Amino acid sequence: MFDNFSLERIDAGEVTLRVRHGGRGPAVLLLHGHPRTHTTWHRVAPLLARRHTVVCPDLRGYGQSTKPPTTADHAPYSKRAMAGDCVELMRTLGHERFAVVGHDRGSYVAFRLAMDHAEVVTALAVLDSVPIGEALARCDAKFAHDWYHWFFFAQPDLPERAIGRDPDEWYRIGDRDTPQRLGAENFADFRRAIHDPATVRAMLEDYRAGLGVDRAADDADKAAGRTLACPTLVLWASGDDMADLYGDVLDVWRPWAPDLRGGVIESGHHMAEEAPDQLTRALLDFLPA
């Protein structure tokens, strides 16, 4: 897994991030979602590394990155804080400008990174998401039913107890997620993370920040008419529910992204694991050479 990549723990200021990086060429940062770690990219990163320098961190709180204490407003787990970690990480590795790709929760970090640090982001790709503010503004009974976990995870203490009783059952180990489907090393890393109570609490803090400070950041940008300054690619999985929720997913993104393109990947939600070749082709066609 990750042949010819380096594995390091890198000081990013407030946190230390576990990071894999390798390849040659223009830099691209890959950000995982919940409840994965950076190893979710193990089938994509080596393919991208033929033409790009690829950097894959565990986001703060996730995997083996450090987990800062939280606050009442959950701001230490905001996407703004995570985006700041990423800028510091990339500078430490010598990359002043780079592209960023984010999946699921990582896509919110990628979006916030491109909004807050436009001067460093050459291109943005988001996978299976719309901005948090847009998702909550459109929230209806279907969203509340199908994405109930957003609201359950935001409750104090109860989700930690529910997940902690049987993490394998909560995350459907042996059903949807298996060593055969994820790859043995990726599966082991994912399973280690969900069995760590500190990691579970930090992942939930990510969701708690989402309903508060993250939504406020999106809403403030929208009210001010701020948009993305870089080319933007939006991809969504055919087996996920983005089209069911939003119809034309690109319509949601158009007010945010003047230079927008995108489309469907034939896959389930975890497209980096399930459709790595198709995803890599789409990214290589888009990323700056």
Residues serving a catalytic function are: 104, 269
Q: What is the dihedral of CA 93, 83, 114, 289, to 10 degrees?
A: 30
Please check whether residue 208 is in contact with residue 74, taking contact to mean a CB–CB distance below 8 angstroms: yes
Strand partners, 92: none
Pick from 108, 132, 101, 131: which is nearest to 27 by CA?
Answer: 101
Please check whether residue 66 is in contact with residue 60, taking contact to mean a CB–CB distance below 8 angstroms: yes
CA distance 158 to 59: 23
CA distance 250 to 234: 7
Count CB neighbours of 1 within 10 A. 14
Instruction: Quote the tokens at residue 4.
Output: 């010819």
CA distance 36 to 48: 20
The values of phi and psi at residue 127, to 5°, are -120, 120
